[in-house]
């Protein structure tokens, strides 16, 4: 990068909302590592301390004026304060109002559906707003896009994930998992929307080592919805699993046998999340905290039906999520990625830029 551009980046300011959590902290660290921007992390507790060069700002998202003041003072906002099932889109709405670029690590289709109607407003404002960045969703979306581009007529996407224990993330990830067990969801199969129950139809998938053959189940992730909007395919399958495998069986029991109050009430979700997080603090030392993903695309190329497979694994899920979001933040700050409007990551990030960003972070996308 020219020296002049590097000097300009020193003056850039990035606000990482929820930047004191595991995922937000990984995002903040990635941005610090790969840019020369000032990075400000937030938390509601004003007694929080951070390690320089990180800067800290006490911020309660319920305080509308404080939120506006914080966003008005920066060049990019990265929203990492989940679970996004509960978020109303106020942060993005404020970014649109003030003309500030926006990223998030949102991980549920309800949030995407809530804010996508503001797309025209974002275009008019001139901001680049990219949703669902991170690892899954995020890196997973771009892996699928890489595969889709190999075909003349893509037909089917089969996307699978496995996470070791806690994945190195905090209790918020546990809350997100249990919230995902609450109700059936729509999936795109054979050219029409159909209902599936979460954690059903176990399938054994061959992942990269150290995971190997591992069980995965239907799970509601944003890719189930956005990939249909992004690509002309007839089927999108998204399945998730954990190691050790007994966590899969416990999750199945939670989804199908436990009293509904445990998976539909805030008290029940919090109880299950705290117990699960405690359990993973014990088992993480044996299972690791990594992630592996496998994207298999079926389609027509030169008149023949073919399958194309991509895999990725990383020994720390939270760091991989930080790389997925931080790399897009870097591209926006360096003005290499500008796309006014609101987009899921696969609609905004070119494959060439994605692969270069992953390579710079030593994350390998393996083609098969």
pLDDT digits (tens, 9 = 90+) for 119-157: 999 999 999 999 999 999 999 999 999 999 999 999 999
* Of the candidate ranges 52-56, 67-71, 192-196, 246-250, the one whose mean pLDDT is the lowest: 246-250
Sorted by sequence, the CB contacts under 8 Å of residue 18 that are 6+ apart come out as 24, 42, 43, 79, 80, 81, 82
CATH classification of the domain holding 190: 3.30.360.10
Q: Give the separation between CA 276 and CA 347, rounded to whole angstroms.
A: 35
Domain interval for residue 334: 3-134+318-367
Residue 33 shares a structural domain with residue 160: no
Is the predicted pLDDT of residue 1 greater than 80, yes or no? no
Residue 313 shares a structural domain with residue 327: no
Residue 118 shares a structural domain with residue 151: no
Q: Judge contact between 153 and 233, C-beta under 8 A.
A: no
287, 302, 317 - which closes a domain = 317
* Of the candidate ranges 11-15, 97-101, 281-285, 339-343, the one whose mean pLDDT is the lowest: 281-285
Residue 148 shares a structural domain with residue 226: yes
317, 339, 359 - which closes a domain = 317
Q: Give the total number of structural domains in the chain.
A: 2
317, 334, 353 - which closes a domain = 317
CA angle 235, 238, 242 (to 5 degrees): 160
Q: How far is CA 359 from CA 133, 364, 365, in A?
A: 17, 7, 9
Residue 200 shares a structural domain with residue 338: no
Residue 187 shares a structural domain with residue 54: no
Confidence label for 4 from pLDDT (cuts 50, 70 and 90): very low
CATH classification of the domain holding 17: 3.40.50.720
Residue 74 shares a structural domain with residue 143: no
Is the predicted pLDDT of residue 263 greater than 80, yes or no? no
Confidence label for 5 from pLDDT (cuts 50, 70 and 90): very low
Residue 311 shares a structural domain with residue 208: yes
């Amino acid at each position: 990068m020219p020296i002049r551009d590097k000097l300009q980046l020193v003056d850039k300011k990035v606000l990482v909302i929820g930047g004191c959590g595991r995922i937000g902290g990984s995002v903040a660290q990635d941005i610090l590592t790969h840019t020369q921007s000032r990075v400000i992390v937030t938390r509601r507790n004003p007694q929080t301390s951070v390690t320089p060069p990180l800067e800290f700002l006490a911020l309660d998202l319920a305080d509308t004026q404080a939120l506006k003041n914080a966003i008005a003072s920066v060049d990019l906002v990265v929203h990492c304060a989940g679970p996004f099932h509960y978020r109303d889109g106020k942060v993005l709405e404020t970014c649109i109002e003030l003309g500030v670029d926006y990223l998030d690590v949102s991980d549920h289709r309800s949030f995407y559906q809530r804010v996508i109607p503001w797309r025209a407003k974002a275009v008019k404002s001139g901001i680049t707003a990219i949703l669902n960045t991170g690892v899954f969703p995020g890196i997973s979306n771009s892996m699928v896009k890489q595969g889709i581009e190999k075909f003349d007529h893509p037909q089917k996407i089969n996307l699978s994930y496995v996470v070791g224990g806690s994945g190195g993330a905090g209790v918020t990830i546990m809350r997100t998992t249990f919230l995902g067990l609450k109700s059936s969801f729509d999936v795109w199969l054979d050219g029409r929307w159909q209902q599936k129950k979460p954690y059903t139809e176990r399938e054994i998938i061959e992942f990269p080592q150290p995971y190997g053959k591992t069980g995965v189940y239907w799970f509601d992730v944003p890719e189930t919805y956005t990939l249909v909007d992004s690509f002309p395919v007839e089927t999108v399958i998204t399945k998730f699993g954990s190691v050790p495998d007994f966590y899969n069986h416990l999750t199945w029991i939670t989804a199908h046998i436990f009293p509904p109050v445990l998976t539909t009430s805030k008290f029940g979700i919090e109880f299950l999340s705290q117990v699960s997080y405690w359990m993973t603090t014990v088992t993480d030392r044996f299972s690791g905290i990594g992630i592996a993903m496998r994207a298999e695309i079926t389609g027509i190329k030169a008149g023949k039906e073919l399958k194309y497979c991509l895999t990725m694994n990383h020994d720390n899920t939270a760091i991989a999520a930080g790389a997925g979001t931080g790399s897009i933040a870097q591209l926006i700050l360096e003005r290499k990625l500008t796309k006014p409007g609101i987009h899921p990551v696969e609609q905004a990030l070119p494959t060439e830029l994605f692969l270069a960003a992953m390579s710079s972070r030593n994350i390998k996308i393996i083609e098969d």
